Structure 1
Amino acid sequence: MSQTITARGLSASSSERATMYQAWSTLATDTWPRVRFFNGTNAAGRRTREVSSFSSMTRRCSVPAPPMATVASATRARPLLFDALPSLAETVPFLPLAEVPTAVERCAALSPYLGRDDVWMKRDDLISPVYGGNKVRRYEFVLADAKARGATRIVTLGGIASTQVMATARFGQHLGIPVTAVLFDQPVTRFAREAILTDVDAGATLIHGGGYLRSAWRFYKARKTQGAYVINPGAASPRANLGYVDAMLELAAQVERGEMPRPDVIVLPTGSSGTLAALALGAAWLGWDTEIVGVRITLRIATNALTIGLIRERTARWIAARAPEFGRALGSRRGRYRLFHGAIGEGYGYPTRESIEAMEWYRALTGKPGEVTYSAKALVGLRAVARDPAYAKKTILLWQTLSDVRPVIPEGTRERVPRDLQWVFEGSVPA
Structure 2
Amino acid sequence: MIPRIRIAHLPTPIEPLPRLSAVLGGPQLWVKRDDQTGLALGGNKTRKLEFVMAEAQAHGAQMLITVGAVQSNHCRQTAALAARFGLKCTLVLFGDVPQTPSGNYLLDRLFGAEVVWTKREDYEEVLQDVFHKAWSEGKRPFLIPLGASTATGAVAYAYAFKEFIEQGGEADWMVLASSSAGTQAGLVLGARLSGWHGRILGISVDHPADWVKARVAELATQAAERLGKAIHVSADEIDVNDEYIGAGYGVLGEREIEAIHLFARHEGLLLDPVYTGRAAAGLIDLIRRGFFKSNDRILFWHTGGVPALFAERYAPYLL
TM range (shorter): 0.7 to 0.9
Q: 1:102 to 1:217 in 2, by over 3 A?
A: same
Separation (CA, whole Å) in 1 of partners of 2:286 and 2:176 = 11
Separation (CA, whole Å) in 2 of partners of 1:238 and 1:247 = 14
Deviation of the 1:143 alpha carbon? 0.7
Count of aligned pairs between the two proteins: 311
Unaligned runs of 5+ in 1: 1-88, 321-325, 410-423
Partner SS state of residue 223, structure 1: helix
Partner SS state of residue 77, structure 2: helix
Q: Could you tell me the percent identity over the aligned residues?
A: 26
1:250 to 154, 160, 163: 163
Deviation of the 1:264 alpha carbon? 1.2
The reply to whether residue 122 of structure 1 matches residue 23 of structure 2 is no
Deviation of the 1:317 alpha carbon? 2.4
Deviation of the 1:386 alpha carbon? 3.2
* 1:12-411 aligned within 5 A: 89=1, 92-116=2-26, 118-128=28-38, 130-185=40-95, 193-213=102-122, 215-224=123-132, 225-226=134-135, 227-255=140-168, 260=169, 262-300=170-208, 303-320=211-228, 326-327=229-230, 336-364=237-265, 367=268, 369-387=270-288, 388-403=290-305, 406=307
2:20 aligned partner, one-letter code:
L
Q: Contact 1:386 / 1:396 at 8 angstroms: preserved in 2?
A: no
Q: Contact 2:27 / 2:298 at 8 angstroms: preserved in 1?
A: no
Q: Contact 2:26 / 2:294 at 8 angstroms: preserved in 1?
A: no
Partner SS state of residue 175, structure 2: strand
Deviation of the 1:270 alpha carbon? 0.6
Q: Contact 1:165 / 1:181 at 8 angstroms: preserved in 2?
A: yes
Q: 1:170 to 1:393 in 2, by over 3 A?
A: same
Deviation of the 1:151 alpha carbon? 0.7
Separation (CA, whole Å) in 2 of partners of 1:428 and 1:403 = 14
Unaligned runs of 5+ in 2: none
TM-score using structure 1 length:
0.66
Q: Contact 1:108 / 1:117 at 8 angstroms: preserved in 2?
A: no
Separation (CA, whole Å) in 1 of partners of 2:292 and 2:27 = 17
Deviation of the 1:354 alpha carbon? 0.7
Q: Contact 1:359 / 1:371 at 8 angstroms: preserved in 2?
A: yes
Deviation of the 1:403 alpha carbon? 4.6
What's the RMSD between the two structures over aligned residues?
Answer: 3.0
Q: Contact 2:275 / 2:305 at 8 angstroms: preserved in 1?
A: no
Q: Which protein is richer in strand relative to its size?
A: 2
Deviation of the 1:112 alpha carbon? 4.7
Separation (CA, whole Å) in 2 of partners of 1:427 and 1:99 = 28
2:214 aligned partner, one-letter code:
L
TM-score using structure 2 length:
0.87
Q: Contact 2:17 / 2:267 at 8 angstroms: preserved in 1?
A: no
Partner SS state of residue 5, structure 2: coil
Q: Contact 2:203 / 2:242 at 8 angstroms: preserved in 1?
A: yes
Runs of at least 4 residues off by over 4 Å: 330-336, 424-429
Partner SS state of residue 161, structure 1: coil
Q: Contact 2:79 / 2:113 at 8 angstroms: preserved in 1?
A: yes
Deviation of the 1:334 alpha carbon? 9.2
